[in-house]
Chain A
Amino acid sequence: MIRSFRSEWLKLRRPGVLLSALGGTVGFSVLGIVLGLRRIGRTGEFTALALSQHGGFITIMSRGSEFIGIVALGIAAFAVSSEFTHGTLRNLLVREPHRLRLLAGKSLALATLIAGTVALAYAVAFPVALAVAPGHGIDTSSWTSGAGIGSLLSGTGDMIITALGFGLLGVLLGMVFRSPAPAIIAGFAYTLPIEALLVGSLGSSRNVLFAQQLDAIASGGTSQIAYGAALAVAAAWAVGAVIATGALFRWRDVAV
């Protein structure tokens, strides 16, 4: 598994992959801050007063969780499915016939990439937010307090969990479709319109749908979905996705 992990990183080190991962995550985050702060409201969670609390930065960032999630999903779906379209999977499997080991190492490498880019995005976005926020009437002094840093760290951790969840979905879709375009399109379609439509027509589905839970985790829980419940439901989905991906990969013929 370590060999598979290291071998995958040789591919992830490609400038194209790194740039799209970093560019996507960091870019979305910075853009999210700059644009998000222009839409500060007078009421609700997103007021200058609320954002001046120690968790204000995390509140802004968690609004972009779907975008960061989609970047993670896209990277993972591409990394898995392109092994099929390039035909490189057959070469990999001759060198590592234990398919689950290959998959585990690859997934772990993707997980480190995703976690790393999210952490970096937060590290870049935080100073940007510190610089921009006062211009919108936000007092950032409590962001840098002990409680502020604590919430920064736990908020980053939550977003990493969210991004890993989306990444896992990407791995599953890549394995199902074995081709980047349909895998990524299916992932986007499910995350954005499909879940939104389901929640719109059946409100209680909010408590079970995967992306809804991931979004709630990124915010550290919401008024509608408690953090612990979101974690538990998302974990159940994740276990299902891991089993489905592993079974597909373990048993399906590799005829590409």
Chain B
Amino acid sequence: MTSSSPAPVESSATASRPMPAPGPRRPAIRSTGLTKHYGARAAVDGIDLEIPDGVIAGFVGPNGSGKTTTIRMLLALVSPSAGEAEVLGTSIRNPGDYLPRVGALIEGPAFYPTLSGRRNLEVLTTLGGIPRSRVEEVLDLVELRERAGDHVRTYSMGMKQRLGIAAAMLPNPEVLILDEPANGLDPAGILEMRRLLSRLRDQGITIFISSHLLSEVEQVADWILVLKDGRLLFQGPTADLLSRRHGRLLVAAEHEAGLTTVATIAEVAGFKVARVNGHLEVDAPASFAAQLNRQAMAAGVTLVEISRSHASLEETFLDLTNGETR
């Protein structure tokens, strides 16, 4: 379980979002053996990232798994103990060559509390040589223009978070790196942010977004990376991960003997099966149900029940993150 395994064809075919056309485009972010030690502890332990251009990539892992440390290395804030990484085809050792095309929100928004939101953004446009007109544009983008003249210390948590996203958008980035951007947002704010991210992705921006909750990113992300204890447990299309989650169909046949036939059908289609209390558990996505039913019928077996097992998203995530021992 260290990287994406080939997914059943069905799951990719039913992915709700189109994947970018496979081709020679270089990945937006790539790393090999990227490692960061703090004393004896490895905060990030030799990860090989590969994030395709133009996707929303969800970077998921429990607290302390190394998400922020990875992001800091990609932004040249922290230097790796070992390994290499590239952003937009440029080594992270030359941050001046790619950071002008990158926007970032790192570990929560950070602003000067006694400056207005607008002035805070102007500090960044001035420093980055970005046209000041961008300030009003990004304020509109996050709907913060009305309060932009107020001191940031008077902002609510969600407003600060939105200002953080606005700041990240200032350079009109090709790559947007957001560390836990949903923290402090209310449900409406989260929905709004998802829409914004989808819109930006449709404009061709690659978005790398971390979260400790899989459920927070799986709805927007085309690509998922799962981190635990500094190691990458999974990376690949979201559909592949979801196929693991939806990965169980419970099947009951009219006659228990028929389950042997059903098991063979499922195995031939490439899925694992197990017998549990007179049921058959098939490690397959829901989309396989119709095919299974048809083939069983053709083989003369009548299915009396096909249901999805209800392993939650978080359970899948925990399975994934607990299953691995260090």
Query: Shortest Cβ distance from A8 into chain B, in angstroms?
Result: 8
Q: Is A243 an interface residue (CB 8 A)?
A: no
B46-81 interface (Cβ within 8 A of A):
72, 75-79
Q: Is the CB of B96 within 8 A of A98?
A: yes
Query: Shortest Cβ distance from B107 into chain A, in angstroms?
Result: 7
Query: Shortest Cβ distance from B79 into chain A, in angstroms?
Result: 6
A79-94 interface (Cβ within 8 A of B):
86-88, 90-94
Instruction: Pick from B96, B126, B171: contact of A97, CB below 8 A.
Output: B96
Q: Say yes or no: A10-B123 contact (C-beta < 8 A), given A86-B113, A90-B106.
A: yes
Q: Is B104 an interface residue (CB 8 A)?
A: yes
Q: Is the CB of B104 within 8 A of A94?
A: yes
Chain A 95-136: CB-based contact to B (< 8 A → 1; otherwise 0): 111100010000000000000000000000000000000000
Q: Is B22 an interface residue (CB 8 A)?
A: no
Main secondary structure of the interface of B (DSSP, over half): loop
Instruction: Pick from B72, B111, B113, B124: contact of A95, CB below 8 A.
Output: B124
Query: Shortest Cβ distance from B34 into chain A, in angstroms?
Result: 14
Residues of the B chain whose Cβ atoms lie less than 8 Å from the Cβ of A42: none
Q: Is B128 an interface residue (CB 8 A)?
A: yes
Q: Is the CB of B127 within 8 A of A255?
A: no
Complex Cα distance, B76 from A93, in Å, reads: 9
Q: Is the CB of B96 within 8 A of A11?
A: no
Residues of the A chain whose Cβ atoms lie less than 8 Å from the Cβ of B110: 86-88, 90-91
Q: Is the CB of B114 within 8 A of A95?
A: no
Q: Is the CB of A87 within 8 A of B99?
A: no
Q: Is the CB of B77 within 8 A of A253?
A: yes
A1-18 interface (Cβ within 8 A of B):
3-4, 6-7, 10-11, 14, 16
Complex Cα distance, B77 from A94, in Å, reads: 8
- Number of A-B pairs whose CB atoms are under 8 Å? 82
Chain A 214-236: CB-based contact to B (< 8 A → 1; otherwise 0): 00000000000000000000000
Complex Cα distance, B107 from A253, in Å, reads: 15
Q: Is B102 an interface residue (CB 8 A)?
A: yes
Q: Is B108 an interface residue (CB 8 A)?
A: yes
Closest to A82 in B: B112
Q: Is the CB of A88 within 8 A of B77?
A: no
Complex Cα distance, B119 from A7, in Å, reads: 10
Q: Say yes or no: A10-B122 contact (C-beta < 8 A), given A87-B107, A95-B127.
A: yes
Q: Is A185 an interface residue (CB 8 A)?
A: no
Complex Cα distance, B303 from A250, in Å, reads: 68
Complex Cα distance, B107 from A91, in Å, reads: 11
Q: Is B167 an interface residue (CB 8 A)?
A: yes
Residues of the B chain whose Cβ atoms lie less than 8 Å from the Cβ of A16: 114
A185-244 interface (Cβ within 8 A of B):
none
Q: Is A147 an interface residue (CB 8 A)?
A: no
Query: Shortest Cβ distance from A1 into chain B, in angstroms?
Result: 11
Q: Is A248 an interface residue (CB 8 A)?
A: no
Q: Is the CB of B127 within 8 A of A96?
A: yes
Complex Cα distance, B128 from A97, in Å, reads: 9
B90-128 interface (Cβ within 8 A of A):
95-96, 99, 102-104, 106-108, 110-115, 119, 122-124, 126-128
Q: Is A149 an interface residue (CB 8 A)?
A: no
Complex Cα distance, B103 from A95, in Å, reads: 9
Q: Is A31 an interface residue (CB 8 A)?
A: no
Complex Cα distance, B130 from A95, in Å, reads: 9
Residues of the B chain whose Cβ atoms lie less than 8 Å from the Cβ of A6: 126
Q: Is A247 an interface residue (CB 8 A)?
A: no
Complex Cα distance, B120 from A7, in Å, reads: 10
Residues of the A chain whose Cβ atoms lie less than 8 Å from the Cβ of B18: none
Q: Is the CB of B95 within 8 A of A97?
A: yes
Q: Is the CB of B108 within 8 A of A91?
A: no
Instruction: Pick from A3, A86, A254: contact of B72, CB below 8 A.
Output: A254
Residues of the A chain whose Cβ atoms lie less than 8 Å from the Cβ of B104: 90-91, 94
Q: Is B129 an interface residue (CB 8 A)?
A: yes
Q: Is the CB of B77 within 8 A of A90?
A: yes
Residues of the B chain whose Cβ atoms lie less than 8 Å from the Cβ of A86: 110-113
Closest to A10 in B: B123
Complex Cα distance, B102 from A86, in Å, reads: 22
Contacts beyond the supplied A254-B72, A255-B72: 18 A-B pairs with Cβ under 8 Å? A3-B127, A3-B128, A3-B129, A6-B126, A7-B127, A11-B115, A14-B115, A16-B114, A86-B110, A90-B72, A91-B104, A92-B124, A93-B76, A94-B77, A94-B104, A95-B124, A95-B171, A254-B77
State the 7 A-B residue pairs at the shortest beta-carbon distance, nearest first. Answer: A87-B110, A95-B128, A97-B95, A7-B127, A7-B126, A254-B77, A253-B78
